[in-house]
Structure 1
Amino acid sequence: MPHSSLKYVVIVSLIALPSWLRLSRTERADVISAEVEPAAAAHHDCHIRWIDAESMTALCSDVMIIDTTDLRSWNHLWEQLRDSSLFAEPYFELVSIVPGIEDGYADYEAELAASDA
């Protein structure tokens, strides 16, 4: 597996703060439309999924799962999000960022096999 084909997954755990919860659902949608969607569109190689977790765990309220093949793009996306009201207001508290490589073991095993050949 060539290095450039590695798929990175970044899991971001967040807690919605009272400042977010006080907003109406329309106001929340406006923040997402004005700040999150343009950031995501600017980094088209980062696919973002937003998961509601508050009814399943007390550890966090929301989870962002980002798939990308370009960690630089992920870094730029994250910088743009950090500059947004999500964190500047703040509307959310960052709990954790967990990066990983999808099927990273397979990439390692392929490299081992290539070095044995």
Structure 2
Amino acid sequence: MSASQPPFEPSVTVFMLVKTAPEWLGFPVDERFQLLREQFTPILRKHEGRVRLRFFDVEFYSTRVTDVWLWDAVDHHAYQLLVEDLRETPFWDRYFQIVEILTGVENAYARNYNREVFTV
């Protein structure tokens, strides 16, 4: 998020479980970062202020997935538009296999029952 973009309250969070493909791992590290800058970053900028991404490496602890891409979005439509753009790149099921997508709403249990969020 840039300094000019105010923070937003996400209404949907998506945990995208992905596995790196041999093609991606075959690129030198510098080339991987160049591909991210050229192909991935413009999509993030296009959806800035409506969708936000956090990367988690999990290959140290899992063989089924290597990374979790955590997406926060202002609404389902914003997330859907982002996915449409990602699907037009080799990052979707070429450089990374999309293993599973888990969509959730943070603290929905409390909101749905008009209760205070339970936290420690």
DSSP-derived class of the 1:87 partner:
coil
Q: Write out the 4+ residue segments of structure 1 that deviate beyond 2 Å after TM superposition.
A: none
> 2:10, 2:72 within 8 Å by CA — same for their partners in 1?
no
Unaligned runs of 5+ in 2: 1-8, 116-120
Instruction: Provide Cα deviations, 1:51-89, integer angstroms capped at 9, x if missing partner.
Output: 11101111201110011122111101111111111126x
Note the C-alpha offset of 1:7: 2.3
TM-score w.r.t. structure 1 length? Answer: 0.84
Note the C-alpha offset of 1:6: 6.0
Q: Percent identity?
A: 25
Larger Rg computed on CA atoms: 1
Unaligned runs of 5+ in 1: 112-117
TM-score w.r.t. structure 2 length? Answer: 0.82
AA aligned to 2:61 is M
Count of aligned residue pairs for this structure pair:
106
User: What's the Cα RMSD here?
Assistant: 1.6
Structure 1 or 2: larger helix share? Answer: 1
In the alignment, what sits opposite 1:43?
47
